[in-house]
């Protein structure tokens, strides 16, 4: 259903507000650079600091630009089940291709709570759902067993796996099956993820290097492994620099160096420190992204 490089889009700000024109121009550039899909309003899109109105609007803006050329997986997660349902209903209404729903953060639900949360959303909205499992941010970790139960629902079609546990990719594939779409949420191990049976990567790095990230995924699916490994090694320092401080401060600064947006983040994400700026710029030059 979904494959390749899907960009976990930044949300540009200008004077404290969402830069709607800047965002849509950025989305158009991403498509032209060859990405295979778009994911607005995730962690990289600073969804925790967007109002509900902004959240819905950013998803709308993305769908408007994509026009079916590439799939849009709209971020619709919340630690409130009712809010997640409302956001997912809006994504369905505007024509998103799927919803990315994060495991509820802060509440710290049990595995049964996770199961009931996702079933409630899947029952309420007829839209493909990608589970976003990111225990480092949400504190809870959905087990393979819970995910297998949820995958029995026709609307729950895959996972964005940000656990960095490569063995889990194999265990999930064996337990759930090949048809369950496993997408990596960790750029540095995205090639290994493919080797273990994954279908692609919801990428932070592709905000600054969409063409290189897409080419690497395309090369994998074509079996051009020498190209895969060459691009993997070019991208590795860039991956590391994108997380030199809390995401999305580094990647937003990187995009600003490309002239695509301001580097502004919303508190509590702080502006990037000078030393970190130097590392981001150096890695982008090393990847041939800056003159």
Domain definitions of the chain by residue range:
4-228
Task: Check pLDDT > 90 for residue 291.
Answer: no
How does the average pLDDT of the chain come out, rounded?
Answer: 97
Work out the pLDDT band at 95, boundaries 50, 70, 90: very high
Averaged over 71-99, what is the pLDDT? Answer: 98
Give 4-228's CATH code, choosing from 3.40.50.300, 3.40.50.620, 3.20.20.70, 2.40.50.100. Answer: 3.20.20.70
Catalytic residues: 132, 160
Q: For the chain, what percent of residues have pLDDT higher than 70?
A: 100
Give whole-number Cα distances, 249 to 5, 107, 161, 269, 272, in Å.
21, 26, 22, 7, 6
Q: What's residue 142's pLDDT?
A: 98
Task: Check pLDDT > 90 for residue 1.
Answer: no
Work out the pLDDT band at 56, boundaries 50, 70, 90: very high
pLDDT, tens digit, for every residue of 148-176? 999 999 999 999 999 999 999 999 999 99
Work out the pLDDT band at 267, boundaries 50, 70, 90: very high
């Amino acid at each position: 259903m979904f494959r390749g490089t899907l960009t976990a889009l930044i949300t540009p700000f200008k004077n404290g507000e969402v830069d709607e024109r800047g965002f849509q121009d950025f989305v158009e550039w991403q498509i032209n650079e060859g990405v295979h899909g778009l994911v607005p309003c995730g962690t990289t899109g600073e969804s925790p600091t967007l109002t509900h109105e902004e959240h819905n609007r950013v998803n709308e803006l993305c769908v408007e630009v994509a026009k079916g050329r590439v799939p849009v997986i709209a971020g619709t997660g919340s630690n409130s089940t009712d809010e997640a349902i409302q956001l997912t209903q809006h994504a369905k209404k505007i024509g998103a291709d799927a919803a990315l729903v994060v495991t509820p953060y802060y509440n710290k639900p049990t595995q049964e709570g996770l199961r009931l949360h996702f079933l409630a959303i899947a029952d309420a909205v007829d839209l493909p759902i990608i589970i976003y499992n990111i225990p480092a941010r949400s504190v809870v970790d959905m087990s393979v067993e819970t995910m297998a139960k949820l995958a029995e629902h026709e609307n729950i079609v895959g996972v964005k796996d940000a656990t960095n546990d490569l063995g889990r990719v194999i265990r999930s594939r064996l337990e759930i099956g090949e048809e369950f779409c496993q997408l990596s949420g960790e750029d540095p191990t995205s090639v290994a993820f493919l080797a273990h049976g994954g279908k692609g990567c919801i990428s932070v790095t592709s905000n600054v290097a969409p063409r290189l990230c897409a080419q690497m995924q395309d090369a994998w699916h074509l079996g051009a492994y020498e190209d895969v490994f060459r691009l993997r090694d070019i991208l590795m320092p860039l991956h590391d620099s994108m997380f030199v401080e809390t995401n999305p401060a580094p990647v937003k600064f990187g995009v600003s160096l490309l002239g695509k947006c301001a580097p502004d983040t919303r508190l509590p994400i702080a502006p990037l420190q000078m030393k970190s700026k130097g590392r981001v710029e150096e890695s982008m030059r090393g990847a041939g992204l800056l003159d």
